[in-house]
Amino acid sequence: MSQTAQASSVAVPRRTMRQWLKRPSTIAFLMTLPLILLIGLLVLYPAGYAIHLATLNKGMTRFVGFGNFEFLFGRETFWMVVKQSCIFAITAVVFKAIIGFVVAHFVHNIPSKGQRKWRGMLLVPWVIPPAMSTLAWLWLFDPSYSAFNWVLAQFGADPVPWTGDAYWARFSVILVNIWIGSPFFMIMYLAALKSVPDQLYEAALIDGANWWQRIWYITLPMMRNIIAITALFSLIVTFANFDIVRILTAGGPLDLTHVFATWSFLVGIESGDIPLGASVSLFMMPFLAIAAVIILRDVVKRGSQA
Amino acid sequence: MSAQTGSAAQASRAQPVRYGSMSRSRRWALRWSYFFLVLFAAFFLLPPFYMLITSLKTSAEISAATNPWWVFSPTLENYIELLTTDQYLVFFRNSALVSLIVVTLTMVISVPAAFALSRMKFWGSATLATGVFLTYLVPETLLFIPLFKIFAEVRNLTGIELINNWWVLLILYPTLTVPFCTWIMIGYFASIPKELDEAALIDGATWMQTLTKIFIPVALPGLIAATIFAFTVSWAQFLYPLAFTTSTDQLVLPVGIVTTLIKGDVFNWGQIMTGALLGAAPPLVIYAFLMDYYIAGLTAGATKG
Amino acid sequence: MKRPGKKTTRRQFLGTTAAVSAAALTAPYIRTAHAAGKLTVGLWDHWVPGANDATRTLIEEWAAREKVEVSIDFITSQGRKILLTQAAEAQARSGHDILAFSTWYPAQYAEQLEPLNDVVEPLIAQNGAVNGTVEYLGKVDGKWLGVPATVGSQMKGPCSRIDLLKKHADIDIQAIYPAGAEPNDKDWNLDTFMRAAKACHAGGNPFGIGLGVTSDSVDSVGAFFHAFGAKLVDEKGDIAVKSDQVRAAMAYMKELGPLLAPDAPAWDDASNNKWLVSGRGAMIMNPPSAWAVAKRDAPQIAEQCWSHGFPSGPAGRFGPFLPYFWGVWNFSSNKSAAKSLLTHLSQESSAYKMVEASGGYDIPAFANLTKFDTWSKVEPPMGTLFHYPDPYHHQVLSIAAAPAPHKIAVQIYAQGVMPKMVVRHMQGEDIERTLSWAESELEGFMRT
């Protein structure tokens, strides 16, 4: 009796340790630990530091609280940038989502032996590093050498000021963003389309559903999560886009194509006001965060139901 | 599942009349599909095509305002120049190393995390799943200045200089790839029927075995999609390498091409286009290769499901 | 360091070593000793093929003599890479010992840069005075924050097509700016310039002056403003935008704007080069990089190019000048070696080699170093760059946004306030509204 008690008292801590290690929640925690460390150290900590920067004065010597934001809210250019960023990001994401969906659908429609070739071709824009493909667009839009304008000139049309006129310039930067981003939507949707069981379509066909009803009642509901995540992700990164505007227009003409990232770079690095630049970059975060939390909660809920 | 398939098959056999109309509408759908695919392919491939044309021109021909869509005296000069100059090969090597290691790291971090978050509920798991995605809200343009400070602290503490070394990108890129890959994987894992892993656990499999023996094979398409994503993102990164590496032997391809072929206000268009095309080649080749796996994974998943 | 010094550079090196050794001891960490240590240098990546090599050779010469291990990075200004590197190194307090800084950036990093009076003052005594713009940009509160660099320092005066100016405007630019002789430029003023712009526009070869927000556009527009004596912010930091001079400059630019290339408001630094090389423009405002590209790709156009001085206005003749500096971080662990190297790079023989290697693009800041034969011997056509460095000092070398205090001026410059004002007014906005807009922008720049 006493012997066994003794033995068990030695074994208990070891067993609890082992049990603790075997507990699903512990294993789960250990599995997510690298992720937590990565994000904590390289995103959250610097982001916290950036928030701290945004509360300092220009010379980074004094705490000013929301002073930088108060200053920004009084600037005409800032509100222009807000408006333009919204136009840029929302238009681009909507078109990317539509084009991606349509193209994915068509690729899915054709016989599978030809699909590989088409997928390969349609992925090309996403594969070329954007910093370089944007340079190709810059060259296509060039005021002196525009290859598009050369074609127009062959038809006797006037040259288009691709980056010179405010509306054309906005059109151009959005177009390039759509061009780069659509293939990503396509590939995500295609993967989702493949996971919709064919039987569902066959059953719908038998029930006499037309193509539109099939998309509306089968495809879209089945793809809801992927559509939501892809669109949300794209919206966030498009709001943060830097390369395209920087290379194509550098914000011009008259700041009419500046977005958050380019303006924040101009203010922070080029004009030497790092706290203000940080504030510009931070401004959109709470709004996107709210949108993201709402969308993601929905996704998670549906995910756990499935 | 098999019962469902059977009933659907029975149903289609029971109504042979509709079969003809199905195939006719199918033919039309096919025609429309090809028509639109050609249209979109033209839009998607126009700039690369123009890059190809420009890359075959001499700088004199580029400067002459002739027909930009035609090459009058084609030359491979730009390709030879880029493929024989040491520094471009170094850019290539750096890009390849960075991308491959980052893809591996990304998978090592995100697959277990996704598994844990989708199957093993624990305190804070739901918040963490959402929180992971929210990291994208923090733009790179906001992070690089604080990161300089942090790297300086690291140097002061450990003596390891992170700035201006290509391998610093190995710890930076995962912040851009891991969250999305984790999310893709959570999505795929969530679509796997719960009975599958419950059965495995009852049979005495550990969590790790469940992950490697059941989840990873079944979610292969998702895994490959995530790999493709991670590779493309790492291959294309511009701002971080621009900010954190300076010496020519530390640069990755996009930054190397842009910073060495554009000098002040002088652009070497022919070489830039060549560099962009050569830079796009490795991912394209990898895609062509992985696509087969992707399809194989899909069919495997379908038969198992 | 152990051998007795014979050269000037050596003596200065020894002198400064003692002064900074105390600082070096307290530096965060000391690199491995290798005779006189290690030195990392970040220089502006020159677009002229071979120009980097000349600088590299000069540095390696010095390094071999001083037994210093040097590593050199050539950093492009494209994509603002060099600005990013500066910001990065200033924040991290580590990086290159010597780094190139253009225009406003020595003043921007005044707190992090080592004062270099002990290098620059002897150089001025030796090589002659520096122009006012270099002093304004490089010397803050009596401290030289950088050594005026030969590499990268450039003029952005007009580069005209001899044939097109003759054909459309009946102006013989070679007669006004004859090779090898003093310019006959008393009639080369803003009125003549406007007449020429009109004639060339009508003839289908408009002038290619950018109205974008990159430095070429800002520099040219800034020189026009200077010609009218128009300042946005004065030297005391007071906003002076609502002045008659600014109104006069704006009225001139409003008339000139529509005569320029059609996309001028969207131009970047490369657009004017392309405009010239494509043969469409009769004049651009640029250092000779555009001409040099034309020489390589379109020789028949290069043969007709002539670089010369800016037209004069009511306030005088102002040539846009964009200087580079070599600065030394105050957290550098080898300041003495850095100073010694900078002295070496600023010797007349070094400057000559750099100018020669850049085909005359680089202009040393010191007065005695602007008479090299490079500028009179490059061709085609013979003498095309003779007047590029302003050999007879007919112009005031200037920078846009001067004489405002640096931290305000850098914002005016980086955000292209002047070209934006011009474009607004040119597109029909009332002058008073434009000036009010500018005033409000400038008020925003007063943040401390």
Which string of DSSP letters, residue by residue, matches B260-279?
HHEETTEE-HHHHHHHHHHH
Res. B21 pLDDT band, cuts 50 70 90: low
Report which of C301, C157, C146 is spatially closest to residue C219, judged by C-alpha positions.
Answer: C157
Give the distance from residue B228's alpha carbon to the nearest chain C alpha carbon, in angstroms: 28
* Ordered alpha helix ranges (H), C271-373: 271-277, 289-297, 299-302, 335-345, 348-357
For each of the domains in chain C, give its residue range(s) and CATH number, in order of start.
Answer: 8-153+322-367 (3.40.190.10), 155-321+377-444 (3.40.190.10)
On whether residue B254 sits in a domain, the answer given is yes
Q: Is the CATH number of domain A73-305 1.10.3720.10?
A: yes
Average pLDDT in chain A = 82
Mode of pairing for the β-strands spanning C69-75 and C38-44:
parallel
Q: List the single residue in B with minimal CA-CA distance to C275.
A: B63
What band does A14 get if pLDDT is binned at 50, 70 and 90? low
Identify which of B117, B102, B99, B104 has the alpha carbon closest to the alpha carbon of residue B215. B117
Residue C144 pLDDT: 92
B133-186 pLDDT, tens digit per residue, is 888 888 888 888 888 888 888 888 888 878 888 888 998 999 989 988 888 788
* Helix B86-119 / helix A24-39 crossing angle, nearest 10 deg: 150
Q: Confidence class of residue A13 from pLDDT cuts 50, 70 and 90?
A: low
Q: Which residue has the higher pLDDT, B29 or C428?
A: C428
Judged against a pLDDT cut of 70, whether residue A25 lies above it is answered with yes
- Binned at pLDDT 50, 70 and 90, residue A88 comes out as very high
B223: CATH: 1.10.3720.10
Asked if C320 and C223 count as a contact pair (C-beta separation under 8 A), the reply is yes
Pairing of strands B262-263, B266-267: antiparallel
Chain C interface residues facing chain A, Cβ-Cβ under 8 Å? 79-80, 83-84, 87, 104, 108, 212-214, 261-268, 271, 274-275, 278, 280, 407, 410-411, 414-416, 420, 423-424, 437, 440-441, 444-445, 447-448
Q: Are residues A143 and C278, on separate chains, in Cβ contact within 8 Å?
A: no
Give C-chain residues touching B66 at CB under 8 angstroms.
Answer: none
Helix H or strand E encompassing B234: helix B220-236
Span A219-246, average pLDDT: 84
Helix and strand tally (H, E) in chain A?
16, 0
State the pLDDT at residue A165.
81
The Cβ of residue A102 has, within 10 Å, a number of other Cβ atoms equal to: 18
Q: Are C147 and C279 in contact (CB under 8 A)?
A: no
Q: Rounded mean pLDDT of B268-295?
A: 77
Please state which of the ranges B102-106, B259-263, C265-269 shows the lowest mean pLDDT: B259-263
Residues of chain C with pLDDT under 70: 1-36, 79
pTM of structure:
0.83
* Contact (Cβ atoms closer than 8 angstroms) between residue C291 and residue A279: no
* N residues, chain B: 305
A contacts of B123 (beta carbons < 8 Å): 25
User: In this predicted structure, what is the pLDDT of residue C251?
Assistant: 92
Q: Give percent above pLDDT 70 in chain A.
A: 93
Q: Which two tokens stand for residue C23?
A: 């600082």
Taking alpha carbons only, the member of C360, C205, C226 closest to residue C284 is C205
Query: Strands C139-140 and C318-328, how do they pair?
Result: unpaired
A286-292 contact pairs (CB < 8 A, 24+): A288/A235, A288/A236, A288/A239, A288/B137, A289/B134, A289/B137, A291/A232, A291/A235, A292/A232, A292/A236, A292/B130, A292/B133, A292/B134, A292/B137
DSSP A60: S
User: For the segment C45-65, what is each residue's pLDDT rounded down to a tens digit?
Assistant: 888 878 888 899 999 989 988
Query: A161: which chain C residues are within 8 Å (Cβ-Cβ)?
Result: 262-263, 266
Residue of B168, B152, B137, B155 whose CA lies nearest to B241: B168
Query: Residue B294: pLDDT band by 50, 70, 90 thresholds?
Result: low
Inter-chain CB proximity C265 and A249 less than 8 Å: no
Whether B120 sits inside 8 A of A24 (CB atoms) is: yes
Residue closest to B140 by CA, chosen among B251, B252, B246, B240: B240
Q: Which residues of A171-208 are buried (b: 16+ CB within 10 A; e: fewer)?
A: bbbbbbbbbbbbbbbbbbbbbbbbbebebbbbbbbeee
Q: How far apart are CA C125 and CA A215, in angstroms?
A: 82
**Contact residues for C155 (Cβ-Cβ < 8 A; gap 6+):** C287, C319, C320, C321, C322, C363, C388, C389, C390, C397
Contacts of A188 in chain B (CB under 8 A): 225
Asked if residue B197 has pLDDT above 80, the reply is no
Q: Do A164 and C262 touch (CB under 8 A)?
A: yes
DSSP state of B211: I
CA trace torsion A275, A278, A280, A286 (10° rounding): -130
Domain that holds residue B284: 76-304
Give the total number of structural domains in chain B: 1
User: Do B133 and A296 count as a contact with CB atoms less than 8 A apart?
Assistant: yes
Question: Domain residues of chain A, as ranges?
Answer: 1-54, 73-305
Burial of residue C267 (CB within 10 Å: 0-12, 13-18, 19+) is: buried
CA C113 – CA C146 distance, rounded (Å): 8
- Please tell me which of the candidates A163, A169, A270 has its beta carbon nearest to residue C414: A270
pLDDT tens, residue by residue, A115-147: 778 887 888 888 888 888 888 898 888 877 788
Distances (CA, A) of A298 to A7, A229, A269, C250: 52, 10, 39, 56
Contacts of C312 (CB under 8 A, 6+ apart): C185, C188, C189, C190, C227
What does the pLDDT look like over A197-208, one tens digit per residue? 777 777 887 887
Write down the ipTM of this complex.
0.81
For residues C441 and A77, is the Cβ–Cβ distance under 8 A? Answer: yes
In a domain, B191, yes or no: yes
- Distance, CA of A189 to CA of A194 (rounded, Å): 8
Residue C277 is predicted with a pLDDT of: 86
Specify the pLDDT at position A304.
54
Using the beta-carbon criterion (under 8 Å), do A122 and B143 form an inter-chain contact?
A: no
- Cα(C228)–Cα(C191) distance, integer angstroms: 12
Query: Would you place residue B295 in the very low, low, confident or very high pLDDT band (cuts 50, 70, 90)?
Result: very low
| pLDDT score of B293 | 59
Quote the percentage of chain B above a pLDDT of 70: 86
